[in-house]
Structure 1
Amino acid sequence: MAYIIGDACISCGACESECPVECISAGDDKYVIDADSCIECGSCADVCPVEAPCAE
């Protein structure tokens, strides 16, 4: 299962480069989080410039 980073995502990649377990990748138009690998550390949320929420 993957989570899509919300509509506010501007595809800047800040979250991907900050993720300590490398579970974030570029999707078709938004970044996605591999929920099975995510450790829910919050590092991605801390660096997101638009505070894009995650959605299933």
Structure 2
Amino acid sequence: MADSAISIENLKDFVYSQFQDEEKWATNAKLLRAVGLFAGSIFLMRNFGDLMAI
């Protein structure tokens, strides 16, 4: 059980470091924006793709 607590602390430290470092946050923000755009385009094409058909 102690191993899981240590791994949770390591995970918290990793996430905190990703948010606090400016360079890492800039890269993560670009990645989040790209994933959001990709997921949004999939959502739109699945729901409204038939309207775009010729």
TM over 0.5: no
Structure showing the higher helix proportion among its residues:
2
Greater gyration radius = 2
TM-score category (smaller protein)? under 0.3
**If the length of structure 2 is used for normalisation, what is the TM-score?**
0.21
